[in-house]
Chain A
Amino acid sequence: MWKWLHPYAKTERAHQLAGTLFPWFALPGLILFTLGTVWGLVFAPADYQQGDAFRIIYIHVPSALLSMSVYASMAICGFIGLVWQIRTCYMAIAAIAPVGAVLTFIALWTGATWGKPMWGTWWVWDARLTSELILLFLYFGIMALYASFEDKLQAGKAVSVMAMVGVINLPIIHYSVEWWNTLHQGATISKFEKPSMAPEMLWPLLINLLGLALLSGALVLQRLRNEIVMRELRRPWVINMLKEQ
C-alpha cells in the first residue's frame, strides 16, 4: 500500500489527483446540498415546539459539525507532514484553513440567528458558543501565521505545530454541552444511539450534512490545486501545463 500511496506525496501527482476528484465532489455535493436545503426549508414538517424557526438546523448543524472535522483533518495533515516530511500536506493545511474558518463563521452566524427567537438573545457566553468562537480564532491564527512567513516550507511546519496544539479545543467543543449543561441544547443526532428526531425531519439533515461535506471537500481540492500551482510556479511541469492552456 505504501508503494501505491507514496507517489501522491509529489505535488504533480497530487495536483492531478485533486483535479480528477474535483467533479466527483463538486457535483454530488451541489445536488445533495440543494436537495437537502429545499427539502428541509420547505417540505419538512414544522417542529411542535420551535415552529418554523427550527429549520435553521439544516444549515447550522452541518456547518458546525464540519467546522470541527475540517479542523481535525487539518491537524492530521499537519501530523503527516511533520512526521514524513511531505510538503504537499503543508499546502493542504493552507488550502483547508480558510474553508474551515468560513464553516465556523456560518455555524456561529446561524447559531446567533437561531438563538434570537429561541433564547431571546443573539449571543450568550455559553460553553459551546465560546469554544466555537475560539475555534474561529484558531483558524484565523493559522491563516495569519502561514501568511506572515516568506519561506513557505517553514510556514508549513509552523502551522502544522500550531494546528496540532489547537486540537485540544475539539473535545472541549464537542463535550461542552454535556460537561457544562448550559443554554445550548444537547446533541440531536449521534452515531451510536437512536436519533432524537423524527425521520422525516432527520433525512434532509443527513443529506445536507453529506452535501456540505462534499462541497467543502471540493473547495479544499480546488484550493489545493491553486496552492500547488502558486508554490511550484518555477517547476517545469507547471510551466508546461500553463503553456498548454
Chain B
Amino acid sequence: MMGRAFDTLHPWVSFVFFAVCIAFSMISSSPVMLAVSFFSALLLLFVISGRKAVRYLLFSVPAVAAAAAVNTAFNHEGATVLLYLNGNPITLESVIYGAVSGTVLMTVIIWFACFSRIMTSEKIMFLFAKVSPSLSLLFSMILRFVPQVAAKARQINEAQRLSYGTPAGLYGRIKRGLTVIYALLLRSFEDAADTTDSMKCRGYGLPGRTAFSRFRFTARDGAVLAVMLVLTAAAAAAAGTGAVRSAYFPLFSGIKTGPYAVITYTLYAALLNIPAALCVTEEIKWSYLKSRI
C-alpha cells in the first residue's frame, strides 16, 4: 500500500492535517485555493487508494453542475445577466458561485474519503481516549458489538427460518425482522451483563488504570507536525493580507495574481501535499533500495 508513510504517522499529526485541510477548504473564498485543495485531495486519495480516486473525479462533474444549476435557480444576485427565465434573471455570477459551492462540497467529501481511510476507528479512539475516556470506551464497545450483534442476528435468523420458513411479503419480512430484534436484544443484554461483571472484576474505574496504545510520537512525527504548523501559519498570514480574497457578488472579482496571492497559493499547495509527498518519497526510496538488492 502506497499510503503507508502517511498511515504510520501519529494520529494527532494526521488529525491536525485533516482539520487544517477541511477548515481551509470551507473557509477560503479564492477559486485558485479551492482548485489547489480539490486536486491535492484527489492526489492524496489516488496515492492512498489508487483507482477509487477516479470515481470521485467522475462523480464531481455532475455534482458541480447540479450545484451550479440549483444556485442559479434560487440566487438572482449578480450584475451580468445572461438571460431571463420566467422573468427571473440568470446571472453569470450566480452560475460561477454555484460551481464554486459545488466544488467546495466535492473537495470536502474527497478530504473525508481520505480521512476515513487514514483515520481508522482505532486512531479515532486513541484521540478520544485522552479527552474523554468514557466516550472512547463506549465507542470501542460499539465497534466490538456491531459485528457481534450481526453474527447473533444471523444465527437467530437462521433458527427462525428453519423453524418457521422464509417470511412472505413486506409485512412478513418486517415482522420477522422484529422477532429477530427482540431475541437479539435479550441475548445482547444478557451477554452485556457478563461484560460488566468482568469489567468490574478487572478493576474498571479504579485509580491508576493505564491505557494501552500502539502509537508513539516519534521524531518524524515531530518534524512533520512542525513543517505543517509553520506552513499553516505562513499560508494563513499570506492569505490574511487579503491578496487572495475573492468576491462573487455583484461582480466576480476574477482570479487574483498579485505577488502575495502567488505566495499564498504556493504555501497552500505545499501544505496540502505534505502527506502525498511523504508517501511518494517513501515509495521512491523503497524502489531504489529494492533495485539494489
Q: Do A and B come from one complex?
A: no
